[in-house]
Chains A and B, each alone.
Chain A
Amino acid sequence: MEESRVYLKKMATGQLVEASLLDEVIDKHLAMWKASWQTAMQTHCAGRALRDKPEDHHWNWTQKADYWRPLLGYHSFAITCEGDLQGLMLVSDFESARVQAQFGKPIVYVKFLACAPWNRPEFQTPPRYRGVGTVMVAAAVELSWNLRYRGRIGLHSLPKAEPFYRDTCKMTELGKDAAHQNLTYYEMTNTQAEEFRLTH
């Protein structure tokens, strides 16, 4: 497991703080998810109607890990900061690009990306840290570069995350995908990836 130093913005002070990006989700991270993240999610969701729950409220990272761990084509990432888990991501590396200019070429596909509940404005104001999603997308782009995929990535976005991928990450929107719960598919070309690396 490799650890990289990254930075998140601590909203209480406005300062950038050091965080760790790990290129493998290990049992310790899953224990942290279960102990604090899942608990916060369950507390927040209690008594709420389905439409008022976070779109990822049902994601069980322990069950997901049981599936992806033996498989070579999956890569998991965790971000920790000041002793707490701040974000988790799972990507695969064997899917194909859909944008015409790179159609059929391999991409890193982001299957799941989530920041911890305390980093979301619907859980607390202000959120504890900002920047988790950007660091994770940057990690997916870097993995794509390391695999010689030239930074190409793709993903299906949950509805509330779409502005982040469209406006912040500047990914290309390719419309709703009936094969993926009608979620909108986004892709980052190698040119967009170079731009993203320069600006984030």
Chain B
Amino acid sequence: MQDTEKRTMTLNLTPREMAVLEDLASKKDLSKTAVMRLALRLLQAVDAKTQMGQKLMFEDEKTKEKSEMVLI
């Protein structure tokens, strides 16, 4: 479902945060706003999984070593 109503907020970022946002926007081929919205959707999805008792794991493709990311 596409929400058409939008609400505006001001986001203050440090220069480092802005640099990261600009880098991610370039890498992902998205606008900075789209990156922030993507981050929100992703965080909500991960949070829902962890609330269900699941873990967020990363696996090294070469070594198969696994590490867990624990979110606050």
Contact = CB atoms under 8 A, between A and B. Distances in A.
The size class of the interface chain B forms with chain A is 10 to 19
Contact of B31 (A75, A148, A150): A148
Contacts of B36: none
Given A24-B1, A73-B45, A75-B1, A106 B27 contact: no
B31 A71 contact: no
SS class, residues of chain B in contact with chain A? helix
B40 A150 contact: no
Interface in A135-149: 146-148
A104 B23 CA distance: 13
B14 to A, nearest CB: 24
Contacts, number: 45
B68 to A, nearest CB: 15
B56 interface: no
Contacts of A104: 27-28
Given A2-B2, A76-B1, A146-B2, 15 more contacts: A1-B1, A23-B2, A70-B48, A71-B44, A71-B45, A73-B41, A73-B44, A73-B45, A75-B1, A94-B38, A104-B27, A106-B28, A106-B30, A147-B34, A148-B30
Interface of B: 1-2, 27-31, 34, 38, 40-42, 44-45, 48, 59
